[in-house]
Amino acid sequence: MRITICILLVLVISSTYGQTQKDSLFKKDIVPLVEEMEFMYGYDQAMREYTIYQTFDKNVTDKIENLTDSLKEKEIDKRKFASDSLAYFIFKNYINPKDAVHTARIIEITKKYGFPSLERIRKYYKKDFIDPEFNPYILLVHAPKAYWIELKELTKKELVEGRISRCVYGHMLWHFNGRKNMKDLLENGFEMIKENGLTKLKSTCE
């Protein structure tokens, strides 16, 4: 019994020390890390938005996204490429390869510093983000399939160690399982509710 208690104490102390060490490193390197992740996020979003809106102008894309659903749909339809092959070309040559690069880098950052959630970033980074919607989490949502197994293990560890919420874990797990099973969400902080006659998914972590 004493041996079991001692082992548990060692594990708890080791985990606490590891988390404190990661937080200290994260605080120390926060500015260059955020600058790097903002670049990756900006690239990720700009390239994807270009395949929809045919522009890199954020003012234009934001304006379109703020339209009513019907007007937005019409505007997007007007901006479609003449051929789907161009969108395929952009994804194949400019988006998918960088998704792999970004994923590998976020994995590297997570292993060294812990997952860079907005909550953790905001503890140490006091400047405004270049893009108010910046969130490193999106970079893992777009992770290529080749990384899914590793990411499932890594995000589970981050959940257990308290660096990501149950809902973030559930949403990531849903992506890493190919977005096929709502169970990943419903067992990890989400619920189905009825609102205005419609059934919708809602996070319980807020």
pLDDT of residue 196: 83
The sign of the CA dihedral 75, 81, 84, 89 is negative
Q: What CA–CA distance (Å, rounded) separates 5 from 12?
A: 11
Q: What percent of the chain has pLDDT over 70?
A: 91
**Residue 56 dihedral angles phi and psi, to the nearest 5°:** -100, 0
**Tokens coding 52:** 């929809």
pLDDT digits (tens, 9 = 90+) for 96-127: 999 999 999 999 999 999 999 999 999 999 99
pTM: 0.86
Q: Residues 6 or more apart from 109 whose CB is under 8 A from it?
A: 33, 37, 116
A 10 A CB-CB count for 123 gives 13
pLDDT of residue 20: 86
How many Å is the maximal CA-CA distance in the chain? Answer: 72
**Tokens coding 142:** 């777009």
Q: What is the pLDDT along the chain (206 residues), one digit of tens a residue?
A: 555 544 544 444 444 555 789 999 999 999 999 999 999 999 999 999 999 999 999 999 999 999 999 999 999 999 999 999 999 999 999 999 999 999 999 999 999 999 999 999 999 999 999 999 999 999 999 999 999 999 999 999 999 999 999 999 999 999 999 999 999 999 999 999 988 888 889 999 86
